[in-house]
Amino acid sequence: MNPKDLATTAPNTWCPGCGNFAILNAIKPVLADLDEEGLLALEKVVLVSGIGCHAKIADYVNSSSFYTIHGRTIPVATGIKLANPDLTVICFAGDGDAYAEGLDHLIFAAKRNVDITTIIHDNRVYGLTTGQYTPTSPSGFVGRSTPAGLVVPPINPLEIVFASGGSFIARGYSHGIELLKEVFREAILHRGFSFVDVLQVCATFFNLYDYYNERVYTLEEHDPQDRARAEEKMREWDYNSDGPIPLGIFYREEAPTFGDNFVKYNSKIADIDGRIREALESFV
C-alpha cells in the first residue's frame, strides 16, 4: 500500500517547520509497510490522540481513530486494547498531555505493561495554548505563564517510564525521519507498553533545532536488554543540562502484558436468564 492512501481530506494546520510533520510522515510509511508485510492489518489499527497541536494527527491519518481529550489518550487506548486484543493501538500524546494532565495514566500503563504504543510529541512547550512551560521545559524557560523564567527543573520522562515498568523505551527526534521510522516500527511490533519520547520541535514557540542538532547522537552498540546500561543512557541527558542527547531504543524486555488473562472472557453466555437464576440461588 502507498502511504499516500493514508492521507485524509482534512487541511493541515500545523505551522511551517513544525516537528509534527516528521511524526506524521514517519508513521504513515511504517503502517503501510507493516500492513504490506502482513505484520499488522490497517483496518485493525486505531490511533488515539489527546488535545494539543499533536492531536490533529487523528484527522490527518485515514485510519480508525479516537480524538480524545487532554491527558486522556492512554486510558482510552488501554480500554480499546482490553476490549479487542486483535487491534494495534497507538497513542499520540503531547508532553502536556502525558507528563502533566495525564501523568498518572502513563505510570499505570507502564506498570501494567499494557500492549499499546505511546508516542509523545515532546516539544517542551504548550503550543496550542500559545507558549507556556511544560513538565519537560528546561529551567529558566521564559513562557507566558512564567515571564520571569521557570524556576523548577524538568522531569526526565524516560526515567519515569523505566521506573514504572515500561518494557520498551526509546527517544526520537523530529529532524531525522529514518531513525523515527525505525523506532516507531520496533515500538509497534513490541508486545507490551512501548514508549517513544520524540523531541519534536515547535518552530513557533520553542525552536530548538540548532540546539538539538549540535547535541543529538544515535545509540550504537547498545544492548537494550542491559538494564543498567539502559538506565545509564537515559540519565545521560536530563532535559536540562547541555549534555549529549542519545537517540534510539534504550530499553526493551519481554514481559507479561495486562489483559493476557482477559482474553478468555468473551461475554458469550448462551442462556443468560438461566445463569442469572443460578446465581440468585446462592442468595436464597
Partner 1 sequence: MDEFSVLVGGRAGDGINEAGMIIARLFNQLGYCLYQYLDYPSLIRGGHNFAIVRAAGKKIGAHRDRVDFLLALNQETIDRHRWRLKEGSVVIYDSDEVKSPVAGGVGLPLKTMAKEAGAPAIARNSGLIGAFSGAAGIEWDILEAVLRKEIPKSIDENLEVARLGRDGIDGNGLKVERRSYPCCPVITGNELIGLGLLRGGLDAYVAYPMTPSSGILHFLAKVAGEFSIKVVHPENEIAVILMAQGFAYAGKKVALGTSGGGFCLMTEGMSLAGMAEMPLVVVVSMRAGPSTGVPTYTAQSDLHFVMNAGQGEFTRLVIAPGDLEQAYYWSATSLGLAWKYQIPAILLSDKTLSESAYSFNLDEARGIPDIRPVLADGEGEYKRYARTPDGVSPLAFPSMKGAVVKANGYAHLESGITTEDADEVKAVQDKSLRKEESLKKELERLPIVRTYGSEDASLALVCWGSNKPVCAEVGEKLGLRVVQPVVLNPFPTSQFEAALGVVERMISVETNSTGQLARLMRCNGFDPDDLILKYDARPFSVEDLEERLLEVTR
- The residues in 62-91 that bind partner 1, with binding defined as CB under 8 A, are 62-69, 72, 75-84, 86-87
Backbone angles phi, psi at 73, to 5 degrees: -60, -45
Query: Which of the residues 9 through 48 are near partner 1 (CB under 8 A)?
Result: 9-10, 41, 43-46, 48
Query: Which residue in 2, 4, 8, 235 binds partner 1 (CB under 8 A)?
Result: 8
Burial 270-283 (b: 16+ CB within 10 A, else e): eeeeeeeeeeeeee
**Residue 190 engages partner 1 in binding (rule: CB under 8 A):** no
Distance CA 166, CA 160 (A): 9
> Taking CB under 8 A as the rule, does residue 152 contact partner 1?
no
The residue whose grid cell reads 500545523 is 14
Rounded Cα–Cα distance for residues 40 and 82 (Å): 17
CB of 87 to partner 1, least distance (A): 6
For residue 116, the 8-state DSSP code is -
Binding mask 92-121 for partner 1 (x = CB under 8 A): ------------xx-xx-------------
The span from the CA of 276 to the CA of 144, in Å, is 59
**HSE of 221 in the Cβ direction (CA atoms, 13 Å)?**
0
Interface pick for partner 1 out of 37, 147, 178, 266 (rule CB under 8 A): 266
Residues lying near partner 1 in the complex (CB under 8 A) are found at: 8-10, 41, 43-46, 48, 51, 56, 58-59, 62-69, 72, 75-84, 86-87, 104-105, 107-108, 262, 264-269, 272-273, 275-277, 279-281, 283-284
